[in-house]
Amino acid sequence: MRACRGEATPRPPLWMMRQAGRYLPEYRQVRQSVSFLDLCKTPRLAAEVTLQPIRRFGFDAAILFSDLLVPLEANGLEVQFTEQGPRLPNPVRTPADLARVIRFDPTKQTDFVLETIRLVREQLGADTPLIGFAGAPFTVATYAIEGKTAKNFAETKKFFYREPEAARRLLALLAETTRDYLLAQVAAGAQAIQIFDSWVGVVSPDDWERYVLEPTKALVAAVRASGVPVIYFGNGATTILDRIAAVGADVYGIDWRLPLDEARARLGGAAAVQGNLDPVVLLGPIAEIERRAADVVRRGGGRGHIFNLGHGILPETPIEGVEALVRTVRGA
């Protein structure tokens, strides 16, 4: 929490995106008896999975186990989780389709998420904060429009260019519902919030200004007004970092494509940054993990740096690689 405020810490605090996931044998054991969506919707199990990496590695923060598309389902769109990834059988492709995207009450439609937060807080103790999260309006919109994880985002961009007013309405609605969802997480006990903009890297500077900035900025401001720090992670967006600084977050998550000191400079000297080891490094030799992790620590600058990966940890990551990373950061 001190690092989120840009304060000096003895070492960078450490957590990892997707730290509660398939690389852990204890997670795979839980998944043998339950589907992914049922796991997200069963507070007792979701809390257990959230806590597993804390027990094993003692990370400095826990992050809620859930999925970016959980609130999109509550918005009224059918979401299926398949072996090939998430699918939305009836995507939003026309202005008329916006009528199917509805506001929802987080205490009713996503009460299982809030109960998971309460259960985790009961077991975490006072020294380990819990991070809540949601997808940013643009990233969630891509799933609503594409109907799946996309490669070139052609459907999204066609919708924006052909129906600009409808696109703005969709992003504004998603920003409002995400605000309600995240504020409910804070009320339930989340002590910080990360907003994942996983696909914002496909946005041009012009489209960022015309469509994406305002709803994202409004969302960040609303959550910050609740008193908790906000981490904004714009994956693949190093070329527009100077523009991204306008969202007004407390912390900016940086992927592995740019060294942290250079990223901070492009952000205009942001108080805090998060990142940014390439997750593939954890599949390599221990000596290389140690070397690269130490370099990230050095470039983080010693103040307002949260150590993280530049994206989510890969399922095939060996436990030994994570252990080496933890030793290196803690020894910094």
Which of 23, 60, 121, 143 does the annotation list as catalytic? 143
pLDDT-based confidence at 82, cuts 50/70/90? confident
- Residue length, the chain? 332
Per-residue confidence (pLDDT) for residue 36, from 0 to 100: 94
What does the angle CA 288 – CA 291 – CA 297 come to, to the nearest 5 degrees?
135
Terminal CA-CA length for the chain:
19
Determine whether 11 is an active site residue. no
Q: Name the token pair of 263.
A: 């990223």
Which of 11, 31, 100, 168 does the annotation list as catalytic? 31
Determine whether 224 is an active site residue. no
Q: What is the mean pLDDT of residues 227-241?
A: 96
- pLDDT of 300 over the 80 cut: yes
| Amino acid identity for residue 174 in this structure | L
Beta-strand relationship, 80-82 and 251-253: unpaired
Give the Cβ contact number of residue 280 at 10 Å.
14
Determine whether 22 is an active site residue. yes
Per-residue confidence (pLDDT) for residue 160, from 0 to 100: 97
Which of 23, 27, 60, 67 does the annotation list as catalytic? 67
Helices (H), the chain: 25-31, 36-40, 43-57, 70-74, 106-109, 111-124, 137-146, 154-162, 164-188, 205-207, 213-224, 241-244, 260-266, 286-300, 319-330
- pLDDT of 269 over the 90 cut: no
Instruction: Name which of 80, 198, 90 is nearest 134 in CA terms.
Output: 198
3-state helix, strand, coil in the chain (%, to 5): 55, 15, 35
Determine whether 18 is an active site residue. yes
Per-residue confidence (pLDDT) for residue 15, from 0 to 100: 98
User: Which H helix or E strand runs over 309?
Assistant: strand 305-309
Full set of structural domains in the chain with CATH: 3-330 (3.20.20.210)
Determine whether 143 is an active site residue. yes
- pLDDT of 306 over the 80 cut: yes
Q: What is the mean pLDDT of residues 254-272?
A: 94
> What is the pTM (predicted TM-score) of this model?
0.97
Q: What is the mean pLDDT of residues 58-70?
A: 97
Percent of the chain residues past pLDDT 90, beyond the cut: 95
Cα-to-chain-centroid distance, residue 115: 20
Q: What would the pLDDT profile of 88-144 be if each residue is shown by its tens digit?
A: 999 999 999 999 999 999 999 999 999 999 999 999 988 999 999 999 999 999 999
Which of 11, 22, 168, 327 does the annotation list as catalytic? 22
Q: What would the pLDDT profile of 193-204 be if each residue is shown by its tens digit?
A: 999 999 999 999
